[in-house]
Structure 1
C-alpha cells in the first residue's frame, strides 16, 4: 500500500483509463464566486503531477470569473465501475502560456476553431449564430495553424487535501485522507465512512 497520494492517484487513474467506457479523465470542478455561491461543472483533466491537476478553458467564462474572485477549487473524480472516487481541494493558479500553447496544439482543428468561435457561458441567441462564427474562424485560419486564443488557457489546482474513497459492502467505505505535513511531504489518516 502506497503512502504517496500522487503515486496512488497514478495507480487509480491508470485503472480508470483501462476500465471506464467514456471520459475516464472527467472530473467535477467546484468553484465559488466572491460571495461564496458555489457552482460545479464537469471538465477534463489534461495534466497532473506533484505540482497539481490541470484543465483548460476560456478565461473569460463563468468559471474563470469565479476563479479570479476566489482562486480555490475542489475536484471530484468518480469512477462508478471501479466504485471509487478521489476528492482534491486546493488553491488555483494559471498554467503558463507555454504549457497552454503546447496543449492547445494537440487539440483537433475543429476544437481549436471552436475555442475562437465561442463566447463561453454567455447568452447565445441561436445555434446558427455560433455555427456562423465557427465558419468565419474556418475562413480566417484557412491554410494555417490555429494559434491559441489569448483568452484561453490552463488552470492548475494545487492540492492542499486529497481524499481517496473506496466503496465497501454495507456502506462501510474506506476513506484515506492526505494532508501536507509541513515538511514537503504528506501525512495520511483515515476518515469514518
Structure 2
C-alpha cells in the first residue's frame, strides 16, 4: 500500500512539474543596436545570450554566428536584423535599413602624357590610389610626382567613401627616356600674381 501511495505521489509531482515547465514564459532577446553600414559591410552590437543572428536581405534570411555581415553583390537592399537563441524568444526585427552596394572598376586607358600619369575617370570614385614602384600616392591627399627619366611600374585603384574600392589595375611597365624628358638651362619663378606667361619648350 505504501508503495502504491509513493508511486501515486511521484506521478502527481511529475505532472505538476511538467505543467509548470509548459507554463514557463520565455524571455525575448533584445533587438540588435548600433548598426553601422560601411559600403557593403554591416556591423552591430552583440546581444546578450544570443547564439546567432538572422540577416533579412530583401526578404531572404541569412543566418550568421557573429555580429557582422558582408554583402557580396551589387544592388539596392532593405536589411533587417534579429537575434536568436535556444530557450529564448527571437528578438524583434530592427527597422528597415536601406543599403546601396556598388563595386568600382579600376581606371582604364592608363598612359603617360608629358611625363604625367593620366587615365579615364571612374564614375563614383572620390579619389585614386596611384602605385608607382610600390609607393602609393592618393590623389586627394598627395602630390602625384612628375615622372623623370627611368623605369616605372604603375597601378591605379579607384577609391570611394560610399562604394567598394576597386582592385588595382594590372601593372603598366613604362620607360621614360632622356629624349622624352624636358631639359632647359632656364629657371623661372612664377606665381598667381605673375603678369607674364611661361615660355614653352619643344
Q: TM-score range by the shorter chain?
A: under 0.3
Larger radius of gyration: 2
| TM-score, normalising length: structure 2 | 0.26
Bigger strand fraction: 1
Which structure has more RCO (C-alpha within 8 Å, separation ≥ 6)?
1
| TM-score, normalising length: structure 1 | 0.27
